[in-house]
Chain A
Amino acid sequence: QSALTQPASVSGSPGQSITISCTGTSTDIGFYNYVSWYQQHPGKAPKRIIYDVTKRPSGVSNRFSGSKSGNTASLTISGLQAEDEADYFCNSYTGSGTLFGGGTKLTVL
């Protein structure tokens, strides 16, 4: 199984919105509504920010939102803040386990 495909990096200025894509196949993202997203700051463990494609855990800012179309899931961060600078990973259920994306480094300019 190959990792889900994410752009290596994205950037945006404070206050702007950015979207990170995560592309899989018809046997993972395209088949199941089980996509999650994680934020990871340097030297820290990942933190769940989206699950089941669109659900946001308690305590996570509503500036984070998730969506899916076909084999591609997306994470949108609105009103960018300096603290959003981090690595972001997507994850999908595959029917027999889970698969992570390669990660996207978000730089807040």
Chain B
Amino acid sequence: DAKTTQPNSMESNEEEPVHLPCNHSTISGTDYIHWYRQLPSQGPEYVIHGLTSNVNNRMASLAIAEDRKSSTLILHRATLRDAAVYYCILRDSGGGADGLTFGKGTHLIIQP
């Protein structure tokens, strides 16, 4: 699976939108973009994923650049409960049931 690059940490204020960037310049046409987050002392939690089009769900939005070399996870209104490590991971659609390979992720800090 292709590699992703994320900032080590980001800080935001409560009730404000948060934009978490992810660069994946070597992405292939069959790579899905997955986002997971891990709250303190918890297992990773699925957030959202997409292939080409922007995606929305109850947790977040995923904006995918037209050339797919980058993407942005958008939390529309951050709460203190959103403080977590956010992982951007690529998974090749042909990769079968292989597990996720986690990078270092972005540590999101939410200020009250």
The finding on whether chains A and B are genuine partners in a shared complex, rather than unrelated, reads no
Binding site for B on A (CB under 8 A): none
Binding site for A on B (CB under 8 A): none
